[in-house]
């Protein structure tokens, strides 16, 4: 932990500064909505925005050149060949100036004041990892005036995310220190979602904010990670296996639960995706 603090110069980072990391691949159609929501999000914290264009072929970069002027903070754009959202997130984390980081997929819409609320909870509870909810096609959702939250222990968080992954990386606010202490994103996985929550809870407690902090677009493209059913289901199984391999000393009850969930998912996905009832 001390090495991470020194390497990232955490002692000198402003604790009221949030870096937004937005990863995108062929998200040109969504960028206007995403940036409008970021511009109107509100909150008194300082901010910067790092967009990682992960080898887009739809000229997302050209749209960003014009739209970034709408944002209330410095904007960096990283362009490179396609390497996946996990690689993009790790890369941008090393360039973050903020003590805190808010993650966002390139087509998800951030909700009003959500980062400010998560930041207040992090400081209030003295935790460095907060996550909320994401819903698709929400209408008439009313935000609560008083934050409805729970501090979840390492065991509680791991049990929840072994059972299911009810959120994605767009729901996360965390410190740079917590990200690197957890091991960050697994770059052999295209999406950060499945393994990142397990890694974050493997490294300690977290705060669950029981309200919507981001929402998915109504019409998702085929490039959206959440629409790639086969890949996401396969990675959800691999995430449980990787979690057990990386955490040899984890509670035996959790390891047994992870094993049973991996078997169950493999069986169910084989039936659903391959239309078979048996598989070697």
Do residues 229 and 273 make contact, with C-beta atoms less than 8 angstroms apart?
yes
Say how far apart CA 66 and CA 61 lie, in whole Å: 9
User: 150-206: per-residue pLDDT in tens?
Assistant: 999 999 999 999 999 999 999 999 999 999 999 999 999 988 998 999 999 999 999
Residue 49: beta bridge partners? 20, 75
pTM of the model: 0.88
Please choose, from the candidates 27, 50, 56, the residue with its C-alpha nearest in 3D space to the C-alpha of residue 176.
50
pLDDT at 133: 96
- Residue-wise pLDDT for 206-249, tens only, equals 999 999 999 998 776 555 545 567 778 889 999 999 999 999 99
pLDDT at 13: 77
Is pLDDT of 127 > 60?
yes
The stretch 24-30 carries a mean pLDDT of 94
- Three-state secondary structure readout of 246-266: HCCCCCHHHHHHHHHHHHHHH
DSSP 13-48: S-TTEEEEEEEESS-HHHHHHHHHHHHT---SSEEE
The residue with greater pLDDT, 277 or 167, is 167
- Say if residues 237 and 262 touch (Cβ distance below 8 Å): yes
């Amino acid at each position: 932990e001390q090495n991470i603090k020194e390497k990232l110069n955490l002692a000198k980072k402003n604790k009221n500064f949030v870096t937004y990391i937005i990863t995108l691949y062929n998200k040109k159609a969504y960028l206007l909505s995403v940036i409008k929501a970021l511009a109107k999000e509100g909150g008194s914290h300082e901010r910067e925005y790092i967009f990682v264009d992960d080898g887009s072929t739809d000229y997302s970069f050209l749209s960003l050149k014009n739209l970034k002027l709408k944002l209330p903070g410095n904007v960096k754009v990283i362009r490179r060949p396609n390497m996946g959202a996990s690689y993009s997130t790790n890369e941008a984390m090393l360039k973050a100036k903020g003590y805190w980081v808010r993650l966002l997929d390139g087509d998800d819409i951030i909700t009003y004041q959500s980062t400010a609320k998560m930041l207040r909870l992090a400081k209030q509870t003295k935790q460095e990892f907060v996550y909320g909810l994401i819903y698709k096609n929400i209408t008439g959702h009313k935000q609560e005036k008083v934050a409805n939250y729970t501090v979840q222990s390492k065991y509680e968080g791991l049990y929840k995310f072994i059972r299911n992954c009810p959120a994605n990386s767009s729901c996360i606010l965390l410190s740079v220190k917590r990200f690197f202490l957890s091991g960050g994103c697994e770059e052999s996985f295209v999406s950060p979602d499945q393994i990142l929550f397990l890694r974050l809870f493997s490294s300690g407690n977290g705060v669950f904010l029981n309200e919507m902090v981001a929402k998915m677009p109504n019409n998702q493209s085929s490039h959206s990670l959440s629409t790639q059913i086969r890949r996401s289901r396969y990675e959800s199984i691999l995430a449980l296996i990787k979690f057990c391999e990386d955490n040899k000393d984890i509670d035996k009850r959790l390891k047994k639960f992870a094993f049973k969930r991996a078997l169950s998912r493999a069986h169910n996905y084989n039936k659903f995706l391959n239309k078979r009832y048996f598989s070697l």
